[in-house]
Structure 1
Amino acid sequence: MNPQRALHLIGTFELVTLVLLLANLVTIHHPSIAAALGPIHGLAYTSTIVIAVLVRNGHHRIWLLSLVPGVGGLLAARVTGPVDGR
């Protein structure tokens, strides 16, 4: 798997976990859901930043975009190039 594809997948996973955390907050606000999803989202966010630093190819904009919570990984993946490896 190329790094751009990994960045796209982890960025998508980060966004999904953030949406689930916010949905829990708005609807039932169950503490065990937040306790389970919070660390998973934090790990996905940190992984997105680490992969963006590895993929950056001398471009600081890539890893700076990854610092945006939720959509940063997807923005950084978009800047790195095509996801399908072409």
Structure 2
Amino acid sequence: MNRPLRIAAAVELLSLLVLVINLATVHVAPVASLCGPVHGCAYLMIVILTAWHPAADRTAKLLAWVPGVGGLLATRRMNGRLTGERAAHRMKRD
């Protein structure tokens, strides 16, 4: 379930960059019409996937709401929690 979240985070960030660059330079309407919904869908997927992820704590769920980089931050937070939990589990086992 982490892979779809990483893909959605990359798509969201890339689409936001395209929208901002388009707005700052030539402002081509078809580019905005295409990238706007893509960005919105990726953003919603990040929020939903983070909410459903078993490793998502309250902070990761709040980070997912940050537009643009929230998905990357939430993914990083959840990967850190998983790594920490695995290390704690290994220490407990030894």
TM range (shorter): 0.7 to 0.9
Runs of at least 4 residues off by over 2 Å? none
Q: Which has the larger helix fraction?
A: 2
Runs of 5+ consecutive residues of structure 2 not aligned to the other structure: 81-85, 87-94
Aligned residues: 81
Q: CA RMSD in A?
A: 1.7
RCO greater where, 1 or 2, for CA within 8 Å and sep 6 or more?
1
Residues 62, 80 of structure 1: 8 Å contact kept: yes
**TM-score, length-scaled by structure 2:** 0.79
Q: Give the aligned partner of residue 48 of structure 1.
A: 46
Say which is worse superposed, 54-63 or 10-19, in terms of deviation: 54-63
**TM-score, length-scaled by structure 1:** 0.86
Change beyond 3 A, Cα 1:8–1:42? same
| Larger gyration radius, structure 1 or structure 2 | 2
Change beyond 3 A, Cα 1:70–1:51? same
